[in-house]
Amino acid sequence: QAERAELKARICRLLKEKNAVMVSHYYVHPDLQDLAEETGGIVSDSLEMARFGRDHPAQTLVVSGVRFMGETAKILSPEKTVLMPDLDATCSLDLGCPVEEFSAFCDQHPDRAVVVYANTSAAVKARADWLVTSSCALEIVAALKAAGQKILWAPDRHLGAYIQRETGADMVFWNGACIVHDEFKALELELLKQEHPQAKVLVHPESPAEVVALADAVGSTSAILKAAREMDAAEFIVATDNGMMHKLRTLNPGKTFYEAPTAGNSATCKSCAHCPWMAMNGLADVARVLETGANAIQVDTALIPRARQPIDRMLAFTA
């Protein structure tokens, strides 16, 4: 406890000294979420992390999250130093979408608008027409459909299928998945619903279709937070990374939140839904990178102008 308090105080001092600001995702450790907010940064979803990083005047950004979040910040602000607690913090969606194979897939469908999820490498973004996050994917695909466009979607197949069901757009899919959300199980969720019949079910759309079908609200991390605050219910079952529980519980002290079951947690483990890469972010690493300047994100400068186009389009669409 004393060590944590000392590290937090050190980070606060370093952020001031280095004219730096910290941006954290809802899935990282509660200490990193609180610290970001207490020091003038934000804890947010991937869309707002990108916008905040672009708009904040600080010359150094500390991004607590996974690699694509740091890369997006660097693409939007190449002149800034973007530090990450651990450069190996990746994402199964990014790993499962290598640019050579993705480019070949795009080449097979030259008549389609290429829409990629934020959870991808800079090189994949540079091949895209549009970037989306789960906060804005529905609206962007609906607008493309209304403009008569057919869609090539990558990489999350569950999110893509959800968007297709909702919009009726003509879509072809890359076969990727999030290793955390892919594990939520509909049968176990139904059993948990029977135990808590009054509970509302909140689901991130990276989850399988049978789980999404049981939801009272479906959406990004920020949409889940909004639904929990606004829905007139005292209990909720939440199908997303359990890092989300920190904000859900602190902002809704009178409400009760249960983790939705995954394959492993129904019988034995009660907290299996946690991204191993988000978990790599720690206080000691934040202090170290601020002190030493280590772990600065680099993006190939030749890629930046092209990778920036789909991100700018998304940010303008959602402004």
Closest CA to 39 of 29, 54, 24, 27: 24
One-letter amino acid for residue 93 of the chain: L
Is residue 220 near ligand 13P by the rule CB under 6 A? yes
| Least distance in angstroms from the C-beta of 93 to ligand 13P | 8
Tell me the C-alpha distance between 134 and 119, whole Å. Answer: 10
Task: Name which of 7 and 208 has its Cβ closer to ligand 13P.
Answer: 208
Task: Name which of 7 and 84 has its Cβ closer to ligand SF4.
Answer: 84
Task: Let me know if 292 is exposed, middle or buried by CB neighbors in 10 A (0-12, 13-18, 19+).
Answer: exposed
Task: Label the pairing between strands 42-44 and 217-218.
Answer: unpaired
Which entry of ligand SF4, ligand 13P, none binds 277, CB below 5 to 8 A by partner kind? ligand SF4
Token look-up 């990727």 returns 176
Is residue 221 near ligand 13P by the rule CB under 6 A? yes
Which entry of ligand 13P, ligand SF4, none binds 71, CB below 5 to 8 A by partner kind? none
Binds ligand 13P by CB under 6 A, chosen from 31, 45, 71, 183: 45
| Least distance in angstroms from the C-beta of 79 to ligand 13P | 25
Q: Which residues contact 199 (CB under 8 A, 6 or more apart)?
A: 192, 193, 233, 235, 236, 237, 256, 258
Can you say whether the dihedral through the CA atoms of 200, 205, 210, 211 is positive or negative?
Answer: negative
Which entry of ligand SF4, ligand 13P, none binds 7, CB below 5 to 8 A by partner kind? none
Closest CA to 231 of 209, 213, 243, 216: 216
| Least distance in angstroms from the C-beta of 243 to ligand 13P | 10
Q: Which residues bind ligand SF4 (CB under 6 A)?
A: 66, 91-93, 119, 178-180, 206, 241, 275, 277-278
Tell me the C-alpha distance between 177 and 95, whole Å. Answer: 10
**Near ligand 13P in 161-180, by CB under 6 A:** 178
Tell me the C-alpha distance between 114 and 125, whole Å. Answer: 10
Is residue 133 near ligand 13P by the rule CB under 6 A? yes
| Least distance in angstroms from the C-beta of 118 to ligand 13P | 7
Task: Name which of 64 and 92 has its Cβ closer to ligand SF4.
Answer: 92
List residues near ligand 13P by CB under 6 A. 45-47, 119, 133-135, 178, 206, 220-221
